[in-house]
Structure 1
């Protein structure tokens, strides 16, 4: 987390106004984030996981001409974060698991055609740790087969492919504002899209399933001006539109004090992205001397990652295991994280799900066994990074 007095002043202002749910700052946050990404619609929610749930559920809406239906298949990498996969299962869809590339740890586009079946309706994946997947290959596939695309950009805010922000290629995309992410509001996330109809459905899914969206100021007669003057088929009299429900929804809204923090964080976002890139490349240069032990990350020439973290993969046939290295780093005050679930099909919760997998998933298994990451967040300075590099060296010097 990196913040200053601006976040604190905004949050105090919101609390003094006693906006406890979404209010004026939420609208400012939507506008600021939309301007940064160049998208029409931002739907803030209470977490990145909720954003994924809202995005998938939106594409299942009966308001769409061609919604996803139970039993339809969604192609997804096996090396995924759980809540990239879970909404597929929770909406009674069937995940079809493909492997990842060893180079960038993203989905392997070469397996997309093999995963295709008559039931395939969508592709969903995360840009791993901010490193864009091969969007040329992905878009060629989804366009050829007329599939939906959901981009989980929770770790990739600010990353671009050929100059275009990731998350702006498909129908819907998602973000997370957890403290470790590119910006934070504590707990929070967002769905974003350039399709107003999808945004309207997403807001309904977020807000109890309610069809009406009257903005955060909630004018008495609604923004439409006919809240109390509309006859709704099947409902009695002039039915209050704010209590008309068109989706099976949740309550996943962001609060205004959180949005107040977000307004200040978005102002700092270009600087945050620049610092993350600097820290990544500084660390990359320092760790190249240890390539006998570590497989360093790679990225496509058309990609410009806004790195969430620095992914590492142990080389094979080393005289030590991952836990030996990560424990040493942790004991020396360098935090590490595994690359999320690794091959998620090896996790207990996924042993009995209705799913297909394509091949043996060897790269996902390598990720499960040998991958981890360290931080590049904007608060790290070059002395911090020098210490990290030196600590890796002290461990490797034993071998």
Structure 2
């Protein structure tokens, strides 16, 4: 591909998986940064301007997916979103784009307030440049009893003044915030977040089922009152099961309340379906219970993603990675993931979840949570030309972002 391909007319043929369905013999065409056709290949070949498009040479078993959308990732390829400088952050974002995650939130963690504000300011520039879709603050208003890999010393009860400072530092790019609903002041926090256009996300919590259910109801009411609509009217649950009490038949805890809300279309559940954070059986069960439209597959990826085992950072914490599993150097607690979102989709499909459902939960659902349901997350006329080309085993072949081919050494499709 030439460097000015952003203005090219290209089309790709393959099996397309998007919008909860599969088209076996499909064509996706784009002109510049927009999709100009998505549907049966025979229909595209009958169009008047078919001959003006250059066909991309893809394998016969190619599968075409919308660009993937990750609501929860802390970095990759040596870049740590909470703490790295702009060059390292840029490298992480570039790696994730090339790995198929064409839209993402950059997640920060609980830290001294000045460090969180500095991270928000740094990341806001990437959002303003269109390289990320915004910022996710995972903390600091989390339960010390369920801090996971977060530093307990940096956790706090909801602080309205700091929230205003963080929103200001993010220059309107703060999209979601994780909080524990049992903390004093959490109801006021939910109202404040919604008023700022930030979606509340329950997580790192020791709440019981009643507290969780009440907070989910309040969050939905506040989002609706603030003018959110559709999927964005639904609160999120940060990595369901992880950093919260387990489901017990006499003490159902937050998991039961979250599953019930999601099954009724009142919450979106993040699942880290990487085969490490959750059993494949658990992932398949959740899809079966609540449906793909209430699940957002996420990575919780950190600095080591795309790199070998070794010693890395997650915010202010030191993390050791062995056999691809990231754990705190002190205590051995899981400390984020090292999979890409395409890895998560592949693992989810291998667990028995249909391709259509796994792809929906990695594209359309998170796109809608971000208010981007008319822009990304689907192979649809007029949408941004974000296309991930994989083989029948969900292995990456090529990525197009805004109509531009991102280099995949040794596997780049080329126009005929």
Q: TM-score, normalised by structure 1?
A: 0.28
Larger Rg belongs to: 1
Q: TM-score, normalised by structure 2?
A: 0.27
Higher helix share: 1
